[in-house]
Chains A and B, each alone.
Chain A
């Protein structure tokens, strides 16, 4: 645990130093990303969730996801979450994580990939940071089962698309492309596994972004003068900030709870079909998506016009928090998925499921 704490605090420092939003906004090019990634690999953040047997840092999923809170704090526009999850999924199948940025798929319910022999086919319609990554870790249909696959992206067709936050979410097509490694997925995996762990990561990133929005909104409200006093002295402003704090708290709590559940439930040998695990991960996805919308709207309202300018850091937090809702399953789809699960179990099972932990 102590080791994990050291990694967490180093991650926080590196991200705030090398991915500072204000500095990036003023930067002439993307060279910050190269420096950041060097530091990420030197510290082993990319291999945070890779088992020790594959030379990983092996701090576990919960602590690995914890790092992403700091990535959210700076609205990080680099595939740290994706690479960490790729390392975890490959590691679960005994495959080592290559160096460099690694993409993680599938990113939507409709994405379907099939492995025949050592060839992969299929499309991922919106793959975050595809054009920046040399490799992808994905989960493919393989006969009657599932296979964890490491594939090179230079053998795929990549058509650029832009996210809500102006970041790459490219269309990626594999047409019988060769893979680097493939192995049967662990028995606990389901088709939804990448979407579920991807959602847990996005939940944590959104929570981190909201945390920062709250902090800068408080600072701004205490400095900004209007009607001859700091606007933080107006009760209506205080109440808005209290609501932003509520959304932030809800997002942080949901993301942390999901991360804890993910590690604990998998450690107990239970699968991605486990209702308790689904409840935790899907709830975090749904609650943080709602918080991203409501929280960012409040932060902008209190900042006034300055918050929507390119030079101010708020828009980076807002756009990334909102864009992160779009990866690994829209929350409305997840709501339906959870609702079907709850209804299939029936009304008498609802409270017992909620009160499991």
Chain B
């Protein structure tokens, strides 16, 4: 438990991580220069994501912290942090491998059968296996343990029926790690009865319906399961006991640079449009925003250090995500105000406006995905001993 004692030890990333950063940055710049992607506006062109994943894999930057016996390199978590934040800051097309690298792979390593690990992990590391996460359902979102999508015992495995929703990139994914109802909850424990399963997304009986988002992106899905067979060796962890497995991974999921960098391109473009000698109000706005993102990043780096040291900073990570996602959500709006007096009849402004509009459209979802603000504050309150 956190108590009221909060420590965010100032971590200085090691020299080796900073050398790696230079390599990653040069790689990304070369891809931008070659025209593969635009760092100001993300693309949902899947072919670009696929190409990029293979190139990143060839560099050895996927699953880099994982055990060598599964094809990993057992590198420091801080190395992964650096690769990840360089990718995020450049809006790199990392959707094929991002989820698997961050959480699905580590979950498999901890809880999956040896056979599955040997089969799936090398594919992730090669940039060939895309994962999606099957948590939310039409009638359960934040209340994860109300999931109803059912897995019924059959000979040699399970039959899955029901649906998952808001599943990002399900239509492209090769695998899902999902939560399925295998028993009813008990009186003593309402979290009992859910089981985590590895789903082959190409299995018969699975249908994905794309859901278009207000941003213009099309990466959400509703996934329907109709008698989908899942064999026993696809079980992840304990039958009916998935709730015990959920907490540690959340610290990894919640404190990373993706929790404050999603709209960063707007700030970079504001600085560009402001020019080298901005007026006082523009400079003040830029300075304040830069101070805030710097402070967030230092907290996030500090949590990365805790994770590397083998701690479980669940509350600290929740604090980073709470502050970080609210900040990145506000950022496009504050950038818009800072830019109020800029001349609009220029090509530079046209570009700036496109960047601003795109990020304003994705802003509302940032405090929802991966744990809503309300859920995070509950986690923090628990850490403080209030629950």
Contacts and interface: CB of A to CB of B under 8 A. Distances in A.
Interface of A: 211, 214-215, 218, 221-222, 232, 235, 238-239, 241-243, 245-246, 248-250, 252-254, 256-257, 259-261, 264, 279-280, 282-287, 290, 332, 334-344, 346-347, 350-352, 354-355, 357
Interface stretch (B94-102, B121-129, B238-246, B316-324): B316-324
B249 interface: no
Given A239-B374, A351-B89, A357 B380 contact: no
5 contacts: A239-B377, A242-B381, A254-B295, A344-B277, A350-B267
Contacts of B274: 343
Name the residue in A215, A235, A342, A343 with the highest tally of chain B Cβ atoms < 10 Å from its Cβ: A343
A283 B295 contact: yes
B35 interface: no
Name the residue in B4, B7, B89, B374 with the highest tally of chain A Cβ atoms < 10 Å from its Cβ: B4
A356 to B, nearest CB: 8
Interface in B218-234: none
B385 interface: yes
Nearest to B338: A339
A253 B387 contact: no
Contact of A332 (B10, B284, B296): B284
Given A252-B8, A354-B297, A347 B377 contact: no
Contact of B7 (A214, A215, A242, A252): A252
Contact of A238 (B9, B297, B302, B378): B378
B280 interface: yes
B186 interface: no
B299 interface: yes
Given A252-B8, A336-B287, A343-B283, 5 more contacts: A235-B378, A239-B381, A242-B378, A249-B323, A346-B276
B283 A336 contact: yes
Contact of A336 (B280, B295, B299, B377): B280
Main secondary structure of the interface of B (DSSP, over half): helix
B200 interface: no
A283 B287 CA distance: 8
Contact of A286 (B86, B264, B287): B287
A242 B6 contact: no
B295 A339 contact: no
Contacts of A211: 4, 6
Interface in B59-73: none
A254 B385 contact: no
Contacts of A346: 271-272, 276
Interface in B268-301: 268-269, 271-272, 274-278, 280, 282-288, 290-299, 301
A250 B376 CA distance: 16
Contacts, number: 178
A275 B200 CA distance: 50
A287 B384 contact: no
B272 A238 contact: no
A136 B41 CA distance: 54
B109 interface: no
B12 interface: yes
B312 interface: no
Contacts of A335: 283-285, 287-288, 291
A264 B282 contact: no
Contacts of A286: 287-288, 291-292
Contacts of B164: none
Contact of B386 (A221, A256, A350): A221
Given A256-B9, A335-B291, A218 B286 contact: no
B354 to A, nearest CB: 16
Contact of A338 (B25, B290, B296, B385): B290
A243 B386 contact: no
Nearest to A291: B295
A257 B299 CA distance: 9
Given A346-B272, A355-B86, A279 B8 contact: no
Nearest to B272: A347
B277 A242 contact: no
B353 interface: no
B192 interface: no
A9 to B, nearest CB: 14
